[in-house]
Amino acid sequence: MLSASTASAVGKSAKSTDLLNSRSIQRVVVLGANGAMGAGSGALFTLAVPRVTFLARTKEKADGGLSAAIKMVRSSTVANRVETGSYDADFDRAVAEADLIFEAVTERLDLKREFFERIDKVRRPDSIVATVTSGLSINLLAEGRSESFRKNFLGLHFFNPPNVIVGTELIAGKDTDPKLVDFIDEYCTKLLGRAMVRTADTPGFAGNRIGFKVLNECAILAEEHGPLLIDELVGPYTGRAMTPLATIDLVGWDIHRAIVDNIYELAPDEAHETLKLPNYMADLMAKGVLGRKTGAGFFGKDDAGERIVLDPKTRKYSQKSAIARPELPFIEEVSELHRVGRYREGMQAFAAATGPHAAIAQKVIAGYISYSFHRVGEVTDDISGIDRIMGFGFNWAPPSVLVDVIGLKPSIQMIEKAGLPVPPALTNAQEGTTFFRDPQVNVGKFFVAA
């Protein structure tokens, strides 16, 4: 009968086929398979690999990861290709047998390095080691490892949940074999259905560097204006599936802090202050507030099931229904245009809106565009990489799409009005330039009516 790979042999160029044949991945071991990322990635690998080993601290935890993987992709057949085990009993054998060692343990430099030291002792010299870090330095993680380890080591940053979000960052270290990078790029694209973006080994890489800058800026603004208003002002109508502060609640405040602290410390840039974690978040985290996983963050529910919203000034929650909502006619205007597919008119109305509330939203969006274009050359070679990861990883309108729909001049004016630096790529562009050039993407999908 048929195998799952029947169709995978076609639709590829000769170059692509050569590249895919340059290595063979028959066995994968996932370390940290009990976590959401480990389990989800593990399930993904079973699409292409006959044997995937899920390892965790105990076999029971790894079994839990397998159950989670089955539920995530909704197929019990994942188990046909997975074996589970523990670090104590199975690590050395499983790592030695693996063609690809996929590390998805907790995001801590010291812990990951302990694992790499152990891997270095038992892995085959030709096996690939990939880390799913969301922003730790690949070069730092590889420090002290053998030459063959460093040559075969790279960052492979899937976004959660990896079976749904296809945007993936690929980060080479300074000693990584360029042929391996080409192979992994092609392998993940063709066999795992990923939208790959190569990024530099910079803090937060491309997606989190830009995405969490915007999220943190919203958290800072929430202190003065309240989370409810900020999430409405920078809501889905500005080009995103989920509102910013609800996103921080979902990701977890601890993860948010780890990412922005890392960028703030190691990558001082023109938007440095927007990457500083607000004090109120640190205070509340000390009291155990971590977002959705602890029941509440910016948003939650009280004991009676009523929706509650944090007041960052008082550090207390109040009922959502008791918070006054100002009239925001420009949001309604933009949403009505989005609803009938008039995205250009919608975003042009956004850029032209007046008043203090519109100015807040415009500043955040202008900041996103300005910050993204200023990262070209630093985190990716060109804007298309940033566009891809913001579109396929965050489900946000990519910065180029925003410039295209708003228009070049109005975009520049919006950035100037916000007092932010205008990227040279915009200043030097001819009127009528199209910045986003991926015909496979429906740009309309990013603009949700409120």
Partner 1 sequence: MAQVPEVYVLGGYQTDFARNWSKEKKHFVAMMREAVLGALEKTQIEPSEIEVAHTGNFAGELYSKQGHMGAFFLEIDPVFSGLPTSRHEAACASGSIALLAAGAEIEAKRYDLACVVGVEQMKTVGAGEGGDFLGTAAWYELEAQGVEFPFPKLFGKLGDEYDKRYGLKDEHLAGISTINYANAKLNPNAQTRTWYMNYDHAMSRDEFNGNIGGRINISDCSQVTDGAAAVLLASPEYAKKWAERVGVSLESIPRIKGWGHHTARIRFEDKIAESANHEYVLPHVRATVTDAQKRAGITDSDGIDGIETHDCFTTSEYMAIDHFGLTAPGESWKAVEEGVIALGGKTPINPSGGLIGAGHPVGATGVRQVLDSHKQVAGEAGSYQINGAKNIQTLNIGGSGTTSVSFVIGT
Residue closer to partner 1 by CB (options 111, 340) is 340
Residue closer to partner 1 by CB (options 95, 328) is 328
Relative to beta strand 82-86, strand 167-172 is unpaired
Go through 122-133 and write b for each residue having 16 or more CB atoms within 10 A of its CB, e for each that does not. bbeeebbbbbbb
In whole angstroms, the minimum distance from the beta carbon of 370 to partner 1 comes to 27
Considering only 1, 14, 286, 324, the residue that binds partner 1 (CB under 8 A) is 1
Residue closer to partner 1 by CB (options 43, 66) is 43
According to the binding rule CB under 8 A, does residue 7 interact with partner 1?
Answer: yes
Instruction: Please return the burial class of 444, using the count of CB atoms within 10 Å of its CB with bins 0-12, 13-18 and 19+.
Output: middle
Considering only 18, 60, 126, 164, the residue that binds partner 1 (CB under 8 A) is 164
Dihedral, CA of residue 199, residue 292, residue 363 and residue 222, to nearest 10: -140
According to the binding rule CB under 8 A, does residue 21 interact with partner 1?
Answer: no
According to the binding rule CB under 8 A, does residue 432 interact with partner 1?
Answer: no
Query: Which is it for the CA torsion 248, 251, 254, 259, positive or negative?
Result: negative
Q: Which stretch binds partner 1 (CB under 8 A): 93-101, 159-167, 254-262, 378-386?
A: 159-167
Site residues for partner 1, window 222-251 (CB under 8 A)?
241
Alpha carbon distance 323, 344 (integer Å): 32
Q: Which stretch binds partner 1 (CB under 8 A): 133-141, 202-210, 314-322, 437-445?
A: 437-445
According to the binding rule CB under 8 A, does residue 440 interact with partner 1?
Answer: yes
Alpha carbon distance 138, 312 (integer Å): 35
| 3-class state of residue 163 by DSSP | coil
Alpha carbon distance 437, 435 (integer Å): 6
Residue closer to partner 1 by CB (options 69, 251) is 69
Site residues for partner 1, window 181-200 (CB under 8 A)?
193
According to the binding rule CB under 8 A, does residue 112 interact with partner 1?
Answer: no
Alpha carbon distance 133, 238 (integer Å): 29
| 3-class state of residue 315 by DSSP | coil
Name 103's bridge partners. 31, 131
According to the binding rule CB under 8 A, does residue 315 interact with partner 1?
Answer: no
Contact 161, 36 (CB under 8 A): yes
Other beta carbons within 10 Å of 268: 11
According to the binding rule CB under 8 A, does residue 318 interact with partner 1?
Answer: no
According to the binding rule CB under 8 A, does residue 139 interact with partner 1?
Answer: no
Site residues for partner 1, window 52-81 (CB under 8 A)?
70, 73-78, 80
According to the binding rule CB under 8 A, does residue 9 interact with partner 1?
Answer: yes
According to the binding rule CB under 8 A, does residue 275 interact with partner 1?
Answer: no
Alpha helices in 287-327 (DSSP H): none
Residue closer to partner 1 by CB (options 267, 389) is 389
Relative to beta strand 307-311, strand 316-319 is antiparallel
Residue closer to partner 1 by CB (options 23, 342) is 342
Contact 135, 109 (CB under 8 A): no
Site residues for partner 1, window 38-57 (CB under 8 A)?
43, 47
Interaction site with partner 1 (CB under 8 A): 1-12, 43, 47, 70, 73-78, 80, 163-164, 166, 193, 241, 335, 338-342, 440-442, 444-445, 447-450
